[in-house]
Structure 1
């Protein structure tokens, strides 16, 4: 045989054999891979017919220690081998779906509480969870798993608003634990839904516990409270909400309580929360709270991240929200190795977390989940916009009226004030992008015609903080084209990443910087991280000192970054550069981001324009107050009256007070509308204004609600959920958490407007009060309630109790029950309200509830009986044996 031919045959044979072997290997790999995929679907945790607990146990028992630990971070990664997708736990729904693009914006939480309407709050929370579900499933279809796309909402905030200086008090339901628990119960039930098997969403009550300012020192403060204050004030809202709702999640607070950090306290998280209150959900830390355990500038009660992580989990914190410190729970593996914690504790935490995800239906076919078919059409629907208007109307509190209100629609008004046309004041904090933003100026002009409205901003909000910035118009921006010719607009370069180290993916001309992105500017698809730069020329048309306002953008003019005001010359060309980074992070999310550059002329004589408007009008409507840019969560601002989000006093800002005094000299009737998230000392206005209305950041329909109230299209029914003090001078130190001389229950001084107070256009009267008590110590209070006017009116009936014969100090009075009713014009209702036996108890000095014996003083009516005629509130007493 030819040797060459033999070699060729041999090569062919070997090559063929290798090819066959390779193919067989490939086929074998493909079969194995297919079997693994098939087997993955057959895991017991995928079996929807099994009990959820069984499924959770099966899944978690398959995880390695590393995989378990990774799931305990708010940005939980995917577990590909088991088909578990990644999940971002952080989402917000305080008064509407927040930070996730467009959503109906309802009144801020404190405004919902002012309605004293449980049914309304249930409807609002149901609408919010409808929109949340619809948006979540739309995000899933787009494969968008960014922060704020999930179903685990870190709302509501049920801390007690014990001090008016706290900037986040706007997020709460006020100063009374019972009102807070009733509003919270309905809000949580609305978020979590009514299905027996699935959760509509997860509600998270926060911040557990003893947490209500100051903001600046919350990472290091240690609050010492008595057992009596703990169980009388700080715990009841948590205990009752857990009892009434089976809420799925609790967020622990930043501060220490009696020496222990709230997120690492056995007393709080185990003895009280789980053992006493029977909470069986998961606990999430406030963001960065675990790092505070070891941070030298914070609590610093341990020396290492591993110790901090172990202490938190050992006490009962299951999920870590990290911040600039990163994920402290990543140190749990080291903590296990060092013997600081056992893996069983980690397993327990992870099972609690997956239980919530299973209850949300995240591992089940969509057709089995009753909420998965909610359409995006529900977001901002006509029904939801009507509901937010209704909620806004019921949140408004009429504090004074000498008969000036309601106005006739042919009245010529001077509409003045820094909040009269300020969109930001409508939404408070933790908000979404409104569907239809209606300011007072919008609505009043629409109602009575532009010819009857003379508008002027009048003053700053406070000092040099203004509210009337406007986007810089396109007519002032130019650029040079490649030939050196001056053309309108700015040269924009967009980068497909949250940095500028790559080539731009898109170049275009932007007319100005007032940009709202529903989709990516680069590919028109789902929004993701991107960056942008702008270059060109800014040429103003008149000389002035300009104040700039930026959103998601940094700007330089002639190489100087604009951080404060700047004097610009008319027709001078200033070299303009700007850049923006949209990043998947809590303060700059990637869902429908906005980039904006605005300005205003600081040289404008605002006061003179306001006086001119007043002189041309029949009545002055002044819309003032503050905004959530002044009060809110930990912020750098430090100016008169405001410090790091809190308030140092509660006076109306000087710039507004000065203008109001000047306007009063015109002799025109003055209607003052205060928009704020907290109490303002309206002492001068109480004496000089014809009417005063309080609005607690009433949501996107603020203007419509206010205009309808002012012009008599409904009678106001809102009630104050907090006390309006005359000042904070005789209140205890802000950091003192003892309840002596705080809130309506314990304050000894004279207040401006009491908790529960609010006027009506209708003449509401009470008579024929009666009381009876059952063998089980349930008290029934009844009375005749009459509306002796031509106005249909809502009324908030309130029952208060006092226990003068208790052997320990008890509240001066406390709200025992309330009912929101509607009274037709010239009608009477017989009303009965039950007071449960637990309300006929007091808290002793050891923090233990005791049955009360002795005289029980009872009042029923429109409020506490302060600032009312005797017809508004009836009082009586009964002996409890």
Structure 2
């Protein structure tokens, strides 16, 4: 891989249906076909291809049809049925001069009509087959609705859970997020993005969006090139290497230069260094935002900066349409830059198969489903399996779980019967009326064998300012609906309901709007209304099972100390209620592991596990004075990365190495024996971490490099082996060279990142 020199990199960071017939079938004809087409286009038609417009949000359909027919739109998003998309494609393929098809995109992040667990939940499965299948089904459902592309996967590394979009990503670790990125792209695109049952993946948000300062959405990012390359850039690269055809550009600035005008990011890194050949798309209104960033004086300058940086398509465009024609005619923007952008847009459409058949995903009106929301169009079994795999058991005192199917269970809490919230943010075309809530799941599980009593117990929050914020964009159909009773009345009902039951299952956490874009938080605790409810329920003395639904790690010290069982459910999707009930009653043995660390308190952030080594580390069991720690509370996370319990228990042997010395271009193997020491069949994740003992720059305390998910019967043992070569030892040194330096390495294997067995080997010079 070609690398920029440190000096050059630093400088760049601070400075700134068919035409005459169907497209040729052979892949080698793509460039010739596109070059020929560009040669036929006027400047206005070229600029039109660079516009990505939202139907309804940016302009009404009648106006959009006219714009498309005039050749002034390259693609649309947010129209999600064949009937809506067909007249738009008709305008392009039948009415425009050159009959260049448009493409249709949507934010299909974790499901389309069937909603799967949020991305953070999918990552909790540590099962790439589950992640890929969720994306594959999402791609099939989206393409069946006439969509050609999705603005997903979202692969931003997130280490500050105050950030609302933590819920959209796969967690804090470069290796795990990269694996999820690859699996997602494979799933969305299938064998080819040209296939009628596939959609093109647009990896987002490029780049570093998850590192916004203070966890505040849209904020700045200031980061060393070394940390970028080592920790934050790999997932984007993994998604692109898996074949993603598009990239959505981030809204943040990168070391003082907005991503939308960042030549180093979009040209030097993405195009030249990584060799990306696909299409880039701005985020919504991002070119106009260059004025508010303060790098452009006016719309003309903003358009010039964006096209020069390499922004191919302008989402919610006005600036390209208004400014590029005169910028080209005046000579300020060479037509070559316009042609480059158009080439990538047309190339993406070619790769989607639209030049061969503009209607390959839309079909004819006679093929439209009679009911787009028909139950038969859902994939419930697969969603239920994915949701089961995503649940993480955090606590289980005195084997409170699994529950017996019988007796009376009190199901309580503002999230117990919340069909909208259980889907999570960015739930695409999913319908709340088709969601299975926890209450419904528990009733179905106990049907004919026990009784379920229900009480809401509390509102999501009693803070009317927060409620107003969450309902602002949905004022005519609010998602957060307040119970008009007083908090005291609601708690009294909940306590009475609990007293009549054998066990309490209480669902608490965040409404989905609290873990969403533009929903950064200054606290990570449960809202006060829910804390009060939990304390009241604790006084009943009944076994208390707390089910968390949330899109980020929360500070749950009281909940950990007082719950008899604690289950992290995230937002588990359409079949979430059934999946949670499956786990609570033991039909499924939980196997999820955390993809992100849980802090003890807000002040402890950041708490990610793979932090750099320091000169005065805190060491448990040794005097804390003059070490790096917070003296008011215990050091380390509340729950570490990779953590998750099971209804059975597992043991690990010591690590065995096939050799003590690793030759260059060679390989050694680290092996452990994992045994199910409990009484139930169960699945766990064996995790391989490596620590570089001495290097030319400070290295992390450990880094995840591999993992295996294994299913074992009671008493069964299995040897799990991890090959280790130079590829697992490489890092970016002070010169941004990707190297494996000779010396000692610690191999650490565990069932989470905190409890590991260790051996050492040496890499030869």
Q: What SS does the corresponding residue of 1:66 show, helix, strand or coil? A: helix
Structure 2 equivalent of residue 415 of structure 1: 411
Matched, 1:393 2:388: yes
Q: Distance in 2 between matches of 1:874 and 1:659?
A: 41
Structure 2 equivalent of residue 278 of structure 1: 275
Q: Distance in 2 between matches of 1:42 and 1:462?
A: 57
Q: 1:236 to 1:464 in 2, by over 3 A?
A: same
Structure 1 equivalent of residue 313 of structure 2: 319
- Contact 1:805 1:853 (8 Å CA) reproduced: no
Structural mapping, 1:574-723, within 5 Å? 600-603=483-486, 605-634=489-518, 645-723=519-597
Q: 1:770 to 1:330 in 2, by over 3 A?
A: farther
Structure 1 equivalent of residue 625 of structure 2: none
Structure 1 equivalent of residue 59 of structure 2: none
Q: Distance in 2 between matches of 1:201 and 1:714?
A: 32
Task: Give the drift of 1:383.
Answer: 7.8
Structure 1 equivalent of residue 322 of structure 2: 330
Matched, 1:427 2:427: no
> 1:146-191 CA deviation, whole Å, 9 max, x = no partner?
xxxx312111111011101000110000001110110110100111
- Contact 2:181 2:236 (8 Å CA) reproduced: no
- Contact 1:547 1:599 (8 Å CA) reproduced: no
- Contact 1:547 1:600 (8 Å CA) reproduced: no
Could you tell which deviates more after superposition, 823-832 or 260-269? Answer: 823-832
Structure 2 equivalent of residue 21 of structure 1: none
Structure 2: runs of 5 or more not aligned:
1-16, 54-66, 72-94, 619-627, 630-634
Query: Which is greater in Rg?
Result: 1
Q: What SS does the corresponding residue of 2:420 show, helix, strand or coil? A: helix
Q: Distance in 2 between matches of 1:257 and 1:182?
A: 25
- Contact 2:101 2:355 (8 Å CA) reproduced: no
Task: Give the drift of 1:768.
Answer: 5.2
- Contact 1:232 1:847 (8 Å CA) reproduced: no
Q: What SS does the corresponding residue of 1:857 show, helix, strand or coil? A: strand
Higher-helix-fraction structure? 2
Structure 2 equivalent of residue 288 of structure 1: 285
Structure 1 equivalent of residue 751 of structure 2: 862
Could you tell which deviates more after superposition, 404-413 or 183-192? Answer: 404-413
> 1:389-415 CA deviation, whole Å, 9 max, x = no partner?
011001000001111111111142221
Q: 1:547 to 1:445 in 2, by over 3 A?
A: farther
* Count of matched residue pairs: 679
Structure 1 equivalent of residue 704 of structure 2: 815
Structure 2 equivalent of residue 455 of structure 1: 454
Q: Distance in 2 between matches of 1:877 and 1:216?
A: 37
Q: Distance in 1 between matches of 2:531 and 2:652?
A: 38
Among candidates 725, 731, 753, match of residue 605 of structure 2:
731
Q: Distance in 1 between matches of 2:361 and 2:546?
A: 49
Task: Give the drift of 1:879.
Answer: 1.9
Among candidates 353, 376, 397, match of residue 361 of structure 1:
353
Structure 2 equivalent of residue 66 of structure 1: 44
Q: Distance in 1 between matches of 2:407 and 2:612?
A: 47
Among candidates 190, 194, 198, match of residue 193 of structure 1:
190
Among candidates 259, 262, 282, match of residue 259 of structure 2:
262
Task: Give the drift of 1:726.
Answer: 0.6
Matched, 1:162 2:159: yes
Structural mapping, 1:96-115, within 5 Å? 96-97=111-112, 103-115=113-125
- Contact 1:104 1:379 (8 Å CA) reproduced: no
Q: What SS does the corresponding residue of 2:176 show, helix, strand or coil? A: helix
Q: 1:41 to 1:782 in 2, by over 3 A?
A: closer
Q: What SS does the corresponding residue of 1:389 show, helix, strand or coil? A: helix
Q: Distance in 2 between matches of 1:65 and 1:725?
A: 54
- Contact 2:664 2:763 (8 Å CA) reproduced: no
Q: What SS does the corresponding residue of 2:684 show, helix, strand or coil? A: strand
Give the TM-score taking structure 2 as reference length.
Answer: 0.82
- Contact 1:133 1:371 (8 Å CA) reproduced: no
Q: What SS does the corresponding residue of 1:460 show, helix, strand or coil? A: coil
Task: Give the drift of 1:363.
Answer: 2.1
Q: Distance in 1 between matches of 2:678 and 2:378?
A: 30
Q: What SS does the corresponding residue of 1:647 show, helix, strand or coil? A: coil
Give the TM-score taking structure 1 as reference length.
Answer: 0.72
Task: Give the drift of 1:601.
Answer: 2.2
Instruction: Please report the RMSD computed on the Cα atoms of aligned residues, expressed in angstroms.
Output: 3.3
> 1:415-472 CA deviation, whole Å, 9 max, x = no partner?
11111111122111111223731111001112124862221111121224699x9xxx
Structure 1: runs of 5 or more not aligned:
1-39, 98-102, 137-149, 470-545, 555-593, 635-644, 867-872
Task: Give the drift of 1:782.
Answer: 1.6
Structure 1 equivalent of residue 169 of structure 2: 172
Q: What SS does the corresponding residue of 2:149 show, helix, strand or coil? A: coil
